[in-house]
Structure 1
Amino acid sequence: MFMNKKVFLGIAAFIVIIAVAFAARYLYQLKKYKDMVSNIQLSGINLSTLENGVYTGSYNAVMIAVDVAVTVNNHKIESIELIKHEHERGAPAEAVIDRVVESQSLNVDTVSGATNSSRVILKAIDNALNSEG
């Protein structure tokens, strides 16, 4: 009986240690994610300097990751293809893409309820248009 209790307590302690480790890892990732999203700075875009072509960009904010392909034609954003959008509940943020194409600018309103995903999508577009393509 005493041995069974000892084994049970050992297993319970092991489970608690594993749970605490997973919780600590999650909290660390959550803090890193929040910091990354809150520190997003958009460089802005100068379409007059961009040649025709497809420009790719990405941004990974731990819990949200985005890859885009931006097609520029005659110094205008013709289309933006969302290649990858890893998120939990940020699918509505994908509407921000239409806002960027319509306004030809990154200075658009984010999608309410999906602000963080909106910001990550905008940063991926910013990275695409401010890189070699």
Structure 2
Amino acid sequence: MKLLWVLLVVAVIIVVVFLLYRRIENKLNALPGLPIADIDLRQVPDGTYTGSYAVFPVRVKVKANVSDGKLTDLTLLEHRNGQGKEAEKILQNVLSSQHLQVDVISGATYSSVVILKAVESALIDQKIR
């Protein structure tokens, strides 16, 4: 009887881990399809704003400086990633193009999208740092 309980507990643990893994995998796979807002920077008041976005295991926090309708600086305050360190280059692409509609970094798609969503959050929510 004790062995039956142990097997039942192990089976439940395996099912829970499997379901959690599938949920995380589904959220990550949905990232490339997330829309990124086309923000009119002329409508964003001058200031320094912070934004964040997270989809486990990727978590990002950024600081965005806006002056005279232009992004003057983007700083990565936090980037917890798996293999997405290369995605940090995307901030320079955003600064150069002055919009969020840039290509993701090949091989770092998940982190690229999360970084873009964090910048989007900063510019839309305009949380002053």
Q: TM-score, normalised by structure 1?
A: 0.81
List runs of 5+ in structure 2 lacking aligned partners.
none
Letter in 2 for 1:92: E
Q: Quick one: distance in 2 between partners of 1:57 and 1:68?
A: 5
The C-alpha deviation readout for 1:55-114, integer Å capped at 9, x for no partner, is 111222233221111011222211111122222111110000011111111122211100
* RMSD over aligned Cα atoms: 2.0
Which residue does 1:122 correspond to in 2? 116
Which residue does 1:70 correspond to in 2? 64
How many residues of Structure 1 are paired with residues of Structure 2 in the alignment? 127
| Larger mean Cα displacement after TM superposition, 104-113 or 92-101 | 104-113
Is the counterpart of residue 82 in structure 1 residue 76 in structure 2?
yes
Q: TM-score, normalised by structure 2?
A: 0.83
Which residue does 1:99 correspond to in 2? 93
Is the counterpart of residue 20 in structure 1 residue 15 in structure 2?
yes
Which residue does 1:131 correspond to in 2? 125
1:7 CA displacement:
5.2
> Structure 1 vs Structure 2: percent identity of aligned residues?
32
List runs of 5+ in structure 1 lacking aligned partners.
1-5
